[in-house]
Amino acid sequence: MNDQPQTHTQPVAEIDPQMLAEINRKLDEVGRVTEDLSRQLESLHDLREDLLPIAHEGLMIAYRKLNALEQDGVIDFLRESSAVFQTIASSFSREDVKALGDNVVHILETVRNLTQPEVLDLADKTSKALREVPAEPMGRIGLLRSLRDPEVRRGLTMFLGVLRELGSEGDESEHAGPTRAARSEAQDNDSEETN
């Protein structure tokens, strides 16, 4: 017997030089891509290191602001307001909201006019006067006596002006009547005659 181990040798295949060059080219490309990925990962790590303190500070600022809003009752107000908006949303149709949008400028002008100091003072005085109405109605003589009071006359003049404005809404379009200035002049003449 032969003491030497038998080795089976495979024939060595010849490697095509073009194929070997192609494999080397692809390996070089994989190496470049790997290096690019490595640099990008390093950049992302650096970016994370830079952004982490900024994000932490931003979260702390947001927390402090939210805490202050909660302490001031704003959060509770907004929570309750959401129920109001839910009621509004369920109470109006799309057409209602569209009409509101079409008239929002007029609505805001009206609100601006209603929030003028003189209008607010008048509303305040009116509400006080309504709370202080005497239980017993005033008789005819008392009414006539109150017409001598300059404040009553000034109030009546204001009230008549409001009534005139309300009444003129349809007058101007239906038929031509005396102008507002002419009506005011006639009223002034009437008040001078009663003095």
* Chain segment 47-64, per-residue pLDDT in tens: 888 888 999 999 999 999
Q: What local confidence, expressed as pLDDT, does residue 176 receive? A: 46
Are residues 38 and 85 both part of a single domain?
yes
**Is position 108 within any domain?**
yes
Q: What is the CA radius of gyration of the chain?
A: 44
Given this model, what pLDDT does residue 134 score? 78
Number of structural domains found in the chain: 3
- Specify whether 124 is located in the same domain as 159: no
Residue 102 CB-density burial (10 A; 0-12 exposed, 13-18 middle, 19+ buried): exposed
Q: Do 87 and 97 belong to one domain?
A: no
Residue 172 has pLDDT above 60, yes or no: no
Q: 166 to each of 1, 9, 76, 171, 172, how far by Cα in Å?
A: 133, 116, 41, 10, 11
pLDDT tens, position by position, 120-165? 998 898 888 888 877 788 888 988 888 899 988 998 898 898 889 8
**Residue of higher predicted confidence among 147 and 194:** 147
Say if 12 falls within a structural domain.
Answer: no
For residue 71, what are the domain limits?
A: 34-91
Residue 9 lies in a domain: no
Q: Is residue 19 assigned to a domain?
A: no
Q: What is the DSSP letter of 127?
A: H
Residues 152 and 166 in one domain: yes
5-43 confidence digits (pLDDT tens): 566 566 556 778 888 889 889 999 999 999 999 989 888
Q: pLDDT of 60-111, one tens digit each?
A: 999 999 999 999 999 999 999 998 888 888 888 889 888 888 898 999 999 9
Q: Write down the pTM of the prediction.
A: 0.38
Angstrom distance (rounded) from CA 157 to CA 183: 13
Query: pLDDT at position 106, please?
Result: 92
Do 193 and 144 belong together in one domain?
yes
Q: What is the pLDDT of residue 170?
A: 66
Nearby residues of 76 by Cβ (< 8 Å), 6 or more positions away: 70
User: 46: pLDDT confidence band, cut at 50, 70 and 90?
Assistant: confident
CA distances from residue 120 to 56, 124, 180 in whole angstroms, order as listed: 48, 6, 25
110 and 148 together in one domain: no
